[in-house]
Amino acid sequence: MSSTAKPLMSLDDALDTMLSHVQSLTSVETVATWDADGRMLSEDVVSELAVPALDNSSMDGYAVRSSDVHPVGSSLRVTQRIPAGSHGQALLPGEAARIFTGAPIPPGADAVVMQEHVSVDPAQPEIITINQTVSKGQWIRRAGEDVSLGTVILPKGCRLQPAELGLAASIGRAELAVVRKPRVALLSTGDELIMPGRVAPADMKPGTIYNSNRFFLRALLQRAGCEVTDLGIVPDQLQATMDVLGQASVEHDLILSSGGVSVGEEDHVKPAVQALGVLNVWQIAMKPGKPLAFGWINKPSSVTPQPPCFFLGLPGNPVSSFVTYLCVVRPFLLALQGGVERDTAPYQLPIHFDWPRPDKRREFLRVRRNGHGGLDLFPNQSSGVLTSAVWGDGLVDVAPGQVLCQGDLVPYWPFSHWLS
């Protein structure tokens, strides 16, 4: 009796399956806003003041009553000077106030005239002439136009980046409540792997390669706000793989491996995970990145039940590992931290190449934008050519079986979408 191979799970279905099992971290830490870059907010940040607190000048110039400046060429008497950080007195008809950027608008004034549009009488420096038409409200920043009192300025699940830190500081927040960093154990499998620095290039034995995946995966995890434990290279042995996975599961939320998830005799990750827990996803319809695994390892029994340690196994080929991290690991880590994905869509850009031989799987091509508003293709799309990820600045998302021709509009994801 002949058997039919089970269809590979699509990337979207695989990701939905993985995210359905995520149990978001509940531990919260309070950190200084100064040190909160890259952390995930665990609660809404509500403003206890308006920003700016008062109407203020957006220019160096003169605060005036617009009704006093008709026609152009009207003269006013300067009766006060208002630098930032001080308060002025009410303006009377025919008066003006010398004012500086950020200084509060004095009562009675309803416009600011840039100093470039004002003439000063050398014989009477307190007398100025307005050389421009003045509109009510010009060059005034209104109270609360940036932040209103009582509004949520940063929502729970927001990843804090430089602009968010500045906004939090602008309302006086010296500390922020954030989700604790996910603890991720990183390991590689493969007897062929050598760490840079251990063996000189001229002394490398045939069949050995330097472990590049370990470097970019660690950097990606740290950019995602993780606390990374580097477990090094695990020998291609079932028991050694089980020992490392079992030990790592005790103190970590996720184990991320690269290599050993194919179907060769020396690939021991699948049976190791199955022996220690559950393997939920195995191979997906994605190129590069077909041999991807997801599951969890049950932590040793204790008085208090603990959530399992999740496991994600990435392919060993460097481009496959890099692309599957972007498409799978990053959204998984975001969900683990209770984060909210930004509501973005890929750019639709024209390609300046042909792609006549489509694959049955969904493909991610390494490309970069050119000076003509389109996308160029890296000539070698092999999953082992990491140069393509350095040369390129993003990925084209190609549907299964899709033929592409020059000029076609395609969905393009810049690497910055995943690395922010």
Domains of the chain: 11-25+181-336 (3.40.980.10), 28-51+145-179 (3.90.105.10), 56-141 (2.170.190.11), 347-419 (2.40.340.10)
Helix 238-251 to helix 269-276 angle (10° resolution) is: 50
Instruction: Band the pLDDT of 10: cuts 50, 70, 90.
Output: very high
Nearest to 188 by CA among 317, 98, 378, 90: 317
- Reported as a single tens digit per residue, the pLDDT across 55-66 is 999 999 999 999
* Average pLDDT of span 255-261: 85
Q: How far is 176 from 194, CA to CA, in rounded Å?
A: 42
Residue 2 has pLDDT above 60, yes or no: no
Q: Which residue, 5, 13, 14, 7, is CA-closest to 292?
A: 14
CA distance linking residue 258 with residue 90, whole number of Å? 70
Residue 54 CB neighbour total at 10 angstroms: 13
Is the pLDDT score of 37 beyond 80?
yes
Reported as a single tens digit per residue, the pLDDT across 169-196 is 999 999 999 999 999 999 988 888 888 8
pTM of the predicted model, to two decimals?
0.86
Percent of the chain residues topping a pLDDT of 70: 95
- Which tens digits make up the pLDDT trace of 269-310? 888 999 999 998 888 999 999 889 999 998 766 556 678 899
- pLDDT-derived band at 340, boundaries 50, 70, 90: confident
Mean pLDDT of the chain: 92
Lowest mean pLDDT among 95-99, 221-225, 235-239: 235-239
Does the pLDDT of residue 335 top 90, yes or no?
yes
Three-class SS state of 61: strand
pLDDT(72) > 80: yes
Q: How many other C-beta atoms can be found within 10 angstroms of the C-beta atom of residue 23? A: 12
Residue spans of alpha helices (H) in 196-302: 213-223, 238-251, 269-276
Specify which residues 258 forms β-bridges with.
Answer: 188, 314
Give yes or no for residue 132 having a pLDDT over 50.
Answer: yes
Is pLDDT at 22 greater than 70 in this prediction?
Answer: yes
Percent of the chain residues past pLDDT 90, beyond the cut: 78
CB–CB of 255/248 below 8 Å?
yes
Quick: pLDDT tens for 390-414.
999 999 999 999 999 999 999 999 9
Per-position DSSP letters for 141-165, written without gaps between them: EPTTSSB-TT-EEE-TTPBP-HHHH
Q: What is the pLDDT of residue 1?
A: 44
The pLDDT score that the predictor gives to residue 342 is 74
Q: What is the pLDDT of residues 220-232, one digit of tens each?
A: 999 999 999 999 8
| Cβ within 8 Å of residue 265, ≥6 positions away | none
